[in-house]
Amino acid sequence: MNAKQIILAIRFKVKPGKKEEFRNLLFTLADKMSKEANFVNSIIHDDLEQPDDILIYEIWNGTQRSWLEEEFPKPYRKDYENVLSEMLEDRIVSWLVPTGEWGSRITSVSR
């Protein structure tokens, strides 16, 4: 596969007492985005050492620019973005590109 891919690794620092509510919101978002044409995969994680943190790892076909232009403006994302300040203390976004993969074949790298 030669398609370009972008990976978003997003760490959410959830406000005390809001983790379950936020996790449910994130699961709803993942259900919606998983139906998008450029969606490849997503995994939601709890951090064992930082119990109020949730991490989502998303793989998309395309580039950072195409994701920002095509995926970010979707109406369901706007609804999600509008409530984040009520639930989060911080959100740390990392934009990544795959360069090697072992054990699966979900990215566009051949290594």
Note the pTM of the prediction, 2 decimals: 0.90
Instruction: List the domain boundaries for the chain.
Output: 5-96
Is the pLDDT assigned to residue 79 strictly greater than 90? no
d(CA 64, CA 107) in angstroms, rounded, equals 15
Domain 5-96 has CATH 3.40.640.10: no
Is the pLDDT assigned to residue 3 strictly greater than 70? no
How big is the chain, counted in residues? Answer: 111
Backbone angles phi, psi at 24, to 5 degrees: -60, -40
Is the pLDDT assigned to residue 1 strictly greater than 90? no
d(CA 30, CA 46) in angstroms, rounded, equals 15
User: Which residue type does 14 have?
Assistant: V
pLDDT for 2: 46
pLDDT for 15: 97
